[in-house]
């Protein structure tokens, strides 16, 4: 094991980047599943249907989209294992272990969402776990790059606000029309009121991000603010244009970038530009 890890160690940096990018992309593909109404394209778990791991019988686009998204989890597993091996003899091993554990946990939680017929509260947890894995990926990447530091009060405050924004975004989605399947239930909350609460917390986060830009003037702070502004603009546009699928998908991608930027700001070394 040590010999293999030693040969893999030089590839740790590109693998750390790959881990981050792949976990952001899986959020987007998961969003496509939901937005196309394909959440129950494979109606059971861990099989796809009828005791088979792959779809069979009459194949439609819902089955193909859901099965493709499930298959991408296998790619994440391969990347996580390769990263863990590369990190095994380095100080980054524990971080790689947490990410490697998070991928199967995410698969199991995804299975629970299917078995509960896309319960919106479980779907929210499913997305939030992806955001946690993205944050863990940023943590490992910063550590590998030698740019990790200790969180301070302002960094913790913005991370808390970011988590609230991301979670409330899932609640808004759970109240809206994109259920993932035409038979899936909604959470019963008012889309207007939940969207307003989500917007209020976004404004708080924008204020904290402005403070970070003024006080730190680091690349991470600027990236967080820029990502927030762009994603907020997409969010307002999608709301007033009645949630077109393309804009909702872009908003989910932006949410993943916000999670990554928030973790970057929280965990960066602050005595130099990141």
Tens-digit pLDDT profile for residues 236-259: 898 889 889 899 999 999 999 999
- Give residue 3's pLDDT band: very low, low, confident or very high (50, 70, 90): low
143-173 tens-digit pLDDT: 999 999 889 999 999 999 999 999 999 999 8
pTM: 0.93
Give the mean pLDDT of 46-68. Answer: 84
- The answer to whether the bond into 140 is cis (omega within 30° of 0) is no
Which residues neighbour 175 within 8 Å (Cβ) at sequence distance 6 or greater?
120, 186, 187, 188, 189, 190, 191, 194
- Give residue 2's pLDDT band: very low, low, confident or very high (50, 70, 90): low
103-120 tens-digit pLDDT: 999 999 999 999 998 999
Name the nearest CA neighbour of 213 among 254, 158, 151, 132: 158
């Amino acid at each position: 094991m040590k010999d293999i890890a030693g040969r893999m160690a030089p590839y740790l940096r590109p693998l750390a980047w790959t881990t981050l990018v792949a976990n952001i992309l899986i959020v987007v593909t998961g969003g496509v599943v939901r937005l196309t109404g394909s959440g129950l394209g494979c109606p059971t778990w861990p099989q796809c249907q009828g005791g088979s791991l792959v779809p069979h019988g009459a194949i439609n686009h819902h089955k193909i989209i859901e099965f493709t998204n499930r298959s991408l989890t296998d790619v994440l597993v391969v990347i996580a294992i390769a990263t863990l091996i590369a990190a095994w003899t380095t100080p980054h091993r524990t971080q790689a272990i947490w990410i490697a554990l998070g991928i199967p946990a995410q698969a199991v939680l995804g299975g629970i969402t299917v078995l509960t017929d896309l319960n919106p509260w479980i779907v929210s947890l499913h997305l939030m776990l992806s955001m946690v894995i993205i944050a863990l990926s940023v943590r490992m990447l910063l550590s590998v790059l030698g740019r990790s530091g200790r969180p301070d009060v302002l960094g913790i405050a913005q991370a808390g606000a970011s988590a609230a924004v991301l979670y409330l975004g899932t609640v808004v989605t759970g109240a809206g029309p994109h259920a993932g399947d035409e038979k899936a239930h909604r959470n019963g909350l008012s889309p207007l009121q939940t969207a307003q609460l989500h917007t209020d917390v976004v404004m708080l986060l924008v204020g904290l991000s402005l403070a970070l830009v003024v006080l730190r003037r680091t690349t991470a702070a600027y990236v967080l603010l820029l990502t927030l502004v762009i994603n907020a603009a997409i969010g307002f546009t999608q709301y007033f244009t009645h949630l077109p699928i393309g804009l909702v998908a872009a908003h989910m991608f932006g949410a993943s970038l916000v999670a990554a930027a928030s973790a970057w700001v929280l965990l960066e070394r602050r005595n130099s530009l990141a």
